Amino acid sequence: MMEKKIGWIGTGVMGKSMCSHLLDAGYSISVYNRTKSKADELVENGAIWCPNPKEVAKKSDMIFTIVGFPKDVREVYLGENGILKGAQKGAIIIDMTTSEPSLAQEIYEQAKIKGITSVDAPVSGGDVGAKQGTLAIMAGGDKEAYDKILPFFQLMGKNIAYMGKAGAGQHTKMSNQILIASTMIGVVESLLYAYKAGNDLEEVINVIGKGAAGCWSINNLGPRIVKNNFDPGFFIKHFIKDMGIALKEAKAMKLALPGLALAYQFYISATALDYENLGTQGLYKVLAKMNGISI
């Protein structure tokens, strides 16, 4: 086993696979998840279960987190049983949740007081990228810390970049989400149009996915739509959270994003239909419902 002791908090759709890559590489890992059963497989494979984030931090030199919402990030880091209550001086903490840039900056400052280094490093690539170790990782914080973490990032991703000071990783992820938000609407509108016209959806994806309209969403989530697979690689509800953060940040910068605002309303309609726990390709079901089409 390697000397560096790793802590991992958050073993959901993406976190479990990301943690597995570090475990497979031979690192000693202490793990916590709010729902313990979601960490059972990691524990069976050698990870050490801890009862809360504070205990994970006590046992670790480097602590990674990927949880759901900013409120979860705040609790995991700054709560009574949070990471900053247990982490030792010299530890490095890395939040890979898509969260608020301002919160990333707050955690960075609070950690610095304790002699702990904080990096925000949200990811993109969904469950497929997490399983295959091909995620995009965008990091903000001290460059020296990023350089130390890079070998670990390379076990989880292929497109890895240092973006600047604390919060810069989160701002980059907001740019990513703004682009994907409207793109995903284009994907489901395109495929529902093809369905209504009587086209073979697989053939449509094969053709347009290789041309100017080609993108990750059509080529990876389009086939899931064809198979009526709406399981989450990335939850609609989490995308709603991300768009809300982006709109809030844009407002603070006095920046108008009308396309994102329109897309946000469409995603909200998924919640009205109780589809928020589907993957983002579930927007296809939302659009079909709006048009009275049974799928």
**Which are the catalytic amino acids?**
173
Please name the helix (run of DSSP H) or strand (run of DSSP E) that holds residue 224, with its range, or none.
helix 222-226
SS3 helix, strand, coil % of the chain, rounded to 5?
55, 15, 30
9 with 59: CB under 8 angstroms? no
Q: Between 168-197 and 283-290, two packed helices, what is the crossing angle to 10 degrees?
A: 50
84 with 77: CB under 8 angstroms? yes
| Kind of pairing between the strands at 62-65 and 5-9 | parallel
Q: What DSSP designation does 279 have?
A: B
Cα 19–chain centre separation: 14
By the 10 Å C-beta count (0-12 exposed, 13-18 middle, 19+ buried), 132 is classed as middle
110 with 80: CB under 8 angstroms? no
Please name the helix (run of DSSP H) or strand (run of DSSP E) that holds residue 118, with its range, or none.
strand 117-120
Q: Can you read off the two tokens belonging to residue 210?
A: 């290789």
295 with 285: CB under 8 angstroms? yes
**Residue in 209, 148, 155, 123 with CA at minimum distance from that of residue 19:** 155
- Spatial separation of the C-alpha atoms in residues 107 and 111, rounded to whole Å: 6
82 with 53: CB under 8 angstroms? yes
76 with 9: CB under 8 angstroms? yes
